[in-house]
Amino acid sequence: MTDGAPPSARGAREMGSRAAGQILVRFGCIELVERILPTLATTPLRAFRLYRSHINSPISQAESEYRTSVDELIEMCSLLSIVTGDIRAALDSYGAPTESIVKILCHPAVERYMTVHYPMPYGIVARAELLGTLPRGLCERQQSERRSAEWAPEIEAFFLFNAQILSDESLLNFLFLLDDHFVGGVHISELQLALANKEEMAAWLEEAGRAALLDGLERFLDFAEGLDHYLGNLDELPVLRGRVWFHYSYWFGHGGARIRETVAWLSGALEASGVVLDGPGSPTVELKAVFDRLTNPYHYCSDLIAQLDPLEITFLQPIA
């Protein structure tokens, strides 16, 4: 017996359902929500203070843990949206606290956190899908792509790619350095100085823990090349390509002023430093080209952005 849907559509649903279950377990959905809700049950002033920009107002370790929980919830919803096309159905089918998630994502403090302080296009789109407010044209385009024969294998490739990222400790530590500027007793300014001078690099690497960060940088460059390759093969699925770029856009400078400045520095360093990360013949020029593509929203995402005018995602601009 079949449900009358074409094989590609059935395969997409089945793959999406399996992936959704793994995502919900990986993020510990129920526990995640239970950690966040108390922070929103306080006074509005306290909630807005917790979910503030930390550029001019540093946050404590305890505050950071709560904010990380919100980041993870938004990331989880983005993943569910990409692999299933229907967050609410995915959450409901696994008994997740759907309405509590809606309450969190629609709280004014969280809304400002992910639209102003740390603009997250992936979170904005995922929330709109959860609320049923995505533009109709975009919904139709997504459904059309999901019915294509290419969709299920490309989604599976994305899911595996993302799983590798989540399990790569060296890469995650480096991402934390990009985001927080400080990890394991090392400030990002040390890496900036080392990349600018080979002699500085040699001396810097002699200190404990530094080699691991350089390994993390190499993993980040591998991640960028892998993502660029994946997105470059999605010409037939432009909406999916845009959604995947959205999901990783923070790490390519689209999540607030500080990450934008950091990624602009790293992109420039690849071009100007001459530091060889992979031995003689390191393709520094090609890496710079990869960064140019990934930091420009309109290279891989123009089709999706054109569909999103009602959501007012106006903060996406190429990085100079």
Of 1-15, 44-58, 291-305, the poorest mean pLDDT is in 1-15
* Residue 30 pLDDT exceeds 90: yes
Number of other residues whose CB lies within 10 A of the CB of residue 246: 28
Tokens 């139709």, residue located: 140
Instruction: Specify the pLDDT at position 279.
Output: 46
Same domain, yes or no: 139 and 268: no
Say if 158 falls within a structural domain.
Answer: no
Domain finish residue from 81, 113, 148: 148
Residue 231: band (very low, low, confident or very high) from pLDDT cuts 50, 70, 90: very high
User: Is there a single domain that holds both residue 98 and residue 177?
Assistant: no
Q: Do 237 and 304 belong to one domain?
A: yes
DSSP character string of 22-85: HHHHHHTHHHHHHHHHHHHSS-HHHHHHHTS--SSS---HHHHHHHHHHHHHHHHHHHHHHHHS
Question: Residue 253: what pLDDT?
Answer: 80
Q: Is residue 162 part of a domain?
A: no
CA neighbor of 253 nearest in space, from 263, 245, 243:
263
Checking if the pLDDT of 12 tops 50, the result is: yes
Indicate whether 91 and 130 sit together in one domain: yes
241 with 270, same domain: the answer is: yes
Least confident of 2-6, 13-17, 38-42, 298-302: 2-6
d(CA 78, CA 95): 18
pLDDT at 103: 94
Q: What is the pLDDT of residue 98?
A: 95
What confidence score (pLDDT) does residue 9 get?
A: 57
Q: What is the pLDDT of residue 8?
A: 54
What pLDDT, on the 0 to 100 scale, is given for residue 278? 47
Q: Judge if 106 and 193 occupy the same domain.
A: no
Residue 86, helix vs strand vs coil: coil
Is 107 within the bounds of a domain?
yes
199-225: average pLDDT: 83
Residues 42 and 141 in one domain: yes
pLDDT tens digits, 110-155: 998 888 888 888 999 999 999 999 889 999 999 999 889 999 899 9
Domain range for residue 106?
7-148
Predicted local confidence at residue 244, as pLDDT: 96
- The predicted pLDDT at position 271 comes to 66
pLDDT for position 276: 43
Q: Does position 15 have pLDDT exceeding 80, yes or no?
A: no
Residue 156 domain-assigned? no
Question: How many domains does the structure of the chain reveal?
Answer: 2
Any domain includes 153: no
Residue 12 lies in a domain: yes
Looking at 148, 183, 200, the residue that finishes a domain is 148
pLDDT tens-place string over residues 247-293: 999 888 876 667 777 777 777 776 665 544 444 445 566 777 888 89
- Which SS3 state, helix, strand or coil, does residue 184 take? coil
DSSP at 233: T
Query: Are 79 and 247 within 8 A, CB to CB?
Result: yes
Residue 186, beta-bridge partner list: 183
Residues 133 and 172 reside in one and the same domain: no
- Residues 276 and 191 occupy one common structural domain: yes
Q: Are residues 136 and 199 in the same domain?
A: no
- % residues pLDDT > 70 (the chain): 85
Is residue 244 domain-resident?
A: yes
For residue 140, what pLDDT is reported?
A: 92
Closest CA to 101 of 44, 48, 53, 40: 40
138 in a structural domain: yes
Angle of CA points 3, 7, 9, to nearest 5°: 80
> What is the pLDDT at residue 246?
93
Say yes or no: 143 and 175 in one domain: no
Local confidence band at 3 (pLDDT 50, 70, 90 cut-offs): low
Confidence of residue 28 (pLDDT cuts 50, 70, 90): very high
The more confidently predicted of residues 163 and 50 is 163
Q: pLDDT at position 260, please?
A: 74
> What average pLDDT is seen over the chain?
82
- Which distant-in-sequence residues (6+ apart) come within 8 Å of 38 by Cβ? none
* Residue 318: predicted pLDDT: 60
Same domain for 143 and 278, yes or no, is no
